[in-house]
Amino acid sequence: MKTAQVYFEDNIFEQLQKEAQKRNITISELIQELVQTSIKKKPAFDKMVGIWKDKNIDIEEIRKKAWR
């Protein structure tokens, strides 16, 4: 496992402390959980990128259909 030094604003650090205490884990464990959760969500978002690339999107046509 690697280490990293991270700086937080005071209010963010206080929130991390409270959440870690509530879960009865260390701040490091909490940050690891949060980062892992964030990384796992990213691939799902990446799959959406470009889903409309083969579509011919005409804003005027969309407006006409919306106002029918």
As a residue count, the chain comes to 68
Is residue 53 pLDDT above 80, yes or no? no
**Would 5 be classed as within a structural domain?**
no
Q: In this predicted model, what pLDDT tens digit does every residue of 6-19 receive, in sequence order?
A: 999 999 999 999 99
Per-residue pLDDT band at 57 (split at 50, 70, 90)? confident
CA 8, 11, 15, 20 dihedral sign is positive
Q: How many CB atoms lie within 10 A of CB 2?
A: 3
**Would 3 be classed as within a structural domain?**
no
Q: Which H or E run includes 48? A: helix 27-48
Looking at the 3D structure of the chain, how many domains does it have? Answer: 1
Cα distances (Å, whole numbers) of residue 61 to 45, 58, 64 = 27, 5, 5
Q: What residue numbers bound the domain in which 50 lies?
A: 10-66
